[in-house]
Amino acid sequence: MIRYLLPLFIFLGLAAFLFQGLKLNPRDLGSTRIDKAAPAFEAPQLVKAEQTFSNQDFTGKVSIFNAWASWCVSCRQEHPVLMQLSQYTDIPIYGLNYKDTRPAALEVLKKDGNPYQVSAFDPKGLIGMDWGVIGTPETFIVDKQGVVRYKHVGPLHGEVLKNEILPLIKQLRES
């Protein structure tokens, strides 16, 4: 009897694995930077080109670091979420303007609003490479000590914010 049922069990096991696989996001490769100090960088700012932004600027507060670009369609999609975050919370949002041109990026900020306190300008994507950015948008949370605590791949949305990002920021602020 068991020998005739065996294929059925193997099939069910396989189906369970594949079903789980459907829920995974193949784009989300995790991050090697989690729980490590933010990769060192110093870059010109996007808006105030004569000033710089560096990894030193993360220390002392829990902040959001968001890789974006004017050519990135799903960045437009998450833009309202960032705008709301900047309006209704006091969480500092820093941007990494990834592989972009200054005029195009400034145009987007002028048209849709600027949720970022500062955006670092990374036209060649070298800072992005150090952070392991695969494709925009990607969002990191950096704690008070300048340690990377979290990474979200893809556009931000209410659910991620409510279930993951905001609770984590609250917890990191209290610690």
Partner 1 sequence: MKLLSYGLLLFSLVANAWAIDNAGIELSDPEHRARYQVLIEELRCVVCQNQAISDSNAELAQDLRDRVREMILSGMTDTEIKTFLVNRYGDFVLYRPPLQKNTYVLWLAPLVIFLVAIVSLFFVIRRHRRTTLKAPVLTDAERAKIDKALKQDEQ
Binding site for partner 1 (CB under 8 A): 26, 29-32, 99, 124-125, 129-132, 134-135
Closest to partner 1 by CB, 61 or 99: 99
Nearer to partner 1, 7 or 26 (CB): 26
DSSP alpha helices (H): ranges in the chain? 2-22, 73-88, 102-112, 126-131, 158-160, 166-174
Question: Residue 156 CB: number of other CB atoms within 10 A?
Answer: 24
Residue 41 CB, nearest approach to partner 1 (Å) = 13
Given the complex with partner 1, which of 4 and 88 has the nearer CB atom? 4
99 or 144: CB nearest partner 1: 99
Nearest distance from C-beta of residue 28 to partner 1, angstroms: 11
List the one residue out of 114, 56, 92 whose CA is nearest residue 172. Answer: 92
Rounded to a whole number of angstroms, the minimum distance from the CB of residue 30 to partner 1 is 6
